[in-house]
Structure formats: C-alpha cells, structure tokens
Amino acid sequence: MQSYGVGEVERMLQLSRGTIRGFISRGFVNPTRGPRREYRFSFQDLVILRAARALVRAKVPPRRIGRSLSALRRQLPESVPLAGLTICAVGNEVVVRKGGSRWKPDNGQYLLELDVSVTDDTLQITEIKRHTDAAGEEHAEVSVETWFERGLEAEEHDIERALEAYEKVRELDAQHLGARINLGRLHHEAGRLDQAQEVYREAMRACEPDATLFFNFGVLLEDSSRYDEAIEAYQQAIEADPDFADAHYNLARLYEVVGKPQHAIRHLGEYRRLLKT
C-alpha cells in the first residue's frame, strides 16, 4: 500500500508541518512510522487531513470534528485517487463528494448538489447550476475547488494546464491561498522569478498570514540572493507557525552566510528539536 511522507503531505495539501503535528496530537490521524521513525501517511490519512483542514477553518468544535472524522474514516476505501473525493464543511457536518454524489459520513445521508467553501471564516453554500448544450446534455458549472483539483492533477504532466487552472481559481476566489501558493511555486520552478514574486506579494496582501506562503517567498528571495529579505520571510513563517522545522533550518543556513553564527546555532537547535518530536 502506498504511503506518503510529511514533505509530500505538505506539498499536496498545503499544510505546514506544525499543523500536521497538531492534527496528529489531537488524534485526527494516526500515521505509521517508517524505518527511521518518520511519519508515513496512508491514502485515508490524506483524506482525513483534508477534511480536518476544512472543518478547522470553518470553526467546527473539536469534539464534533473528531466524531465526524472517525465516521468518515470507517467509510473510506483503502486506495482511491485522491482527486476523486472532495471534502467540505457544511455547518458542523463533514460532507464528502465523489462524482455527482454528496453524502454525510455520519449517517450516509445524501445531499443536494451544493458548492461549499469557507472564506474569511464565513461558510458559503450555493446550489450547483446546470446548463444544457446544443445536444440537450446537462453540465454542471465548474466550482473553485474543482479547478483547484484540476491544477493539482495537471502538475504531474502539464504545468501550463496547472497554471491555467490555478489562475482560474484566483479569478473566482481572490482569497484562495492554496492556488496562489501553488501558482507562485510553479512560476518559481520554471525560472520565472519576477512572476512568482508578484504572485506571492499579491497573496500576502489578499490572504491571511500563512507559514507556507512566507516560507516559499523566502526560498524565492534566497534564490535571488536577497538574503536579508529571505531571513525576514523565514522569520514571518516561524511567527505564523513556530514549529515549522524547515524554516528554522533555512534560517540557520542563512545566518551562517551573513555572519551571525549564534543565531544560526539557535535555529539549528530548534530544527533538530522539532525533528525529534
């Protein structure tokens, strides 16, 4: 059975390591340990983490989250393409979507086809509208999360299509942080540093402070040899998530570069401490 490391979970779900550890400590997921005692996550764990993220952002009470996630886990198959499922929060409920069907894992009740999103802690629920083409066939309008899923899928084989999908998300939802982070990262990886910087700076203006956003921006600045600015970005990442181990590590390296060994030692110590937890 395929399993995933913490780094892969960070990339796929856009969750910081501190957030992942928090979900583990609260019992939302119980990953196994690899040969070097590292966490290994199953397909089910990934789906549960996505659901936990949606519910936490919707400010669902922790006890309710725990009950909903336990019920969801019992109904999940061991291996299904991750993009085949969409997890949403409707009030205090978890809603699972697969294809055109939506159901609540607590009781298996099927729901109307609704689009659910959380923006600025406000739950938005809209009915999916359908249109009919010339052949008389019905088609649902593509939701923001569907465009985001398309972007994730396209990253594996067609970067330009992934960029187009994330741009569409940004057009439909100006505060969709995951799409902005992925858009900036793809531009960065393609060597389009100016475009990546523009995307990241715009995201910092439009969205709430986020550790992954600051971290990625720091990597971009570091690759541009703007070390002082990169240090500031990594510090912001740690302010947003004090347990962000990779940010501590990168800070340690940069402090060595700029001639501040005591700062470097402190952050390297934090990095090593976090790896053991």
Predicted local confidence at residue 186, as pLDDT: 92
Burial grade of 28 (CB within 10 A; 0-12, 13-18, 19 or more): buried
Among 89-103, 152-166, 176-190, the minimum mean pLDDT is found in 89-103
CATH class of 142-208: mainly alpha
pTM score: 0.55
Span 185-243, pLDDT tens digits = 999 999 999 999 999 999 999 888 888 899 999 999 999 999 999 999 999 999 988 88
**Which ranges in the chain are annotated with CATH 1.25.40.10?**
142-208, 216-277
Burial grade of 51 (CB within 10 A; 0-12, 13-18, 19 or more): buried
Span 69-97, pLDDT tens digits = 776 666 665 554 444 555 555 555 556 65
Span 16-59, pLDDT tens digits = 777 788 788 777 788 888 888 888 888 778 777 877 776 666 66
Residues 181 and 14: beta-carbon distance below 8 Å? yes
**Which ranges in the chain are annotated with CATH 1.10.1660.10?**
6-140
Residues 148 and 164: beta-carbon distance below 8 Å? no
- The fraction of the chain above a pLDDT of 90, given in percent, is 30
- CATH topology (fold) of 6-140: Multidrug-efflux Transporter Regulator; Chain: A; Domain 2 (1.10.1660)
- CATH topology (fold) of 216-277: 1.25.40
- The mean per-residue pLDDT over the stretch 3-9 comes to 81
The 8-class DSSP code of residue 4 comes to B
Give dist(CA 245, CA 193) in Å, integer.
25
